Amino acid sequence: MTDEPDKSKFDRSCCPIACALDQLGDKWTLLIIRDLLLGKKRYQEFLASPEQIATNILADRLKKLEADGFVVQQAYQQNPVRYEYKLTQKGEDLAPVLQALVTWGKSHYPGSRVFKAVKP
């Protein structure tokens, strides 16, 4: 019952790459962050992305992204409460990582191309 922070320091090692992959290392999380960086905010917008994420996985990832401090929820209506998701600074700071991935991906997967940002 001490007041130690619940995070158990480093999951696998103190390497910043390992720390990052503990939270981002799967097939979906970075795609959701991509969508958020492109301006998407709502559940249906994420579902509409061409990669066809399953609804249970999307719900699970949004929960984890919030728990890990990448996004915050903001209610945009009551009864029932509905939330929009927006990136925190931690999440937005991933933009250079995604940008590097795009640069790499475009040169190694000819024909691939990025999507347009959604209108606000």
Q: Which does 84 bind (CB under 5 to 8 A by kind): its own copies, DNA, none?
A: DNA
Q: What is the footprint of its own copies within residues 14-33 (CB under 8 A)? A: 14-22, 25-28, 30-31
Are 88 and 72 in contact by the 8 Å Cβ rule? The answer is: yes
Cα gap 60→58, rounded to integer Å: 5
Q: Angle at the Cα of 53 (from 57 to 44), degrees rounded to 5?
A: 95
- Give the phi and the psi of residue 77 in degrees, each rounded to 5: -160, 160
Q: What is the footprint of its own copies within residues 44-103 (CB under 8 A)? A: 49-52, 90, 93-94, 96-103
Residue 119 lies near DNA (rule: CB under 7 A): no
- Give the residue from 37, 32, 44, 39 showing the smallest Cα distance to 118: 39
> For binding to DNA (CB under 7 A), which residues are involved?
26-28, 42-45, 52-57, 59-60, 62-63, 77, 79-80, 82-84
> For binding to its own copies (CB under 8 A), which residues are involved?
9-10, 12-22, 25-28, 30-31, 34, 49-52, 90, 93-94, 96-109, 111-115
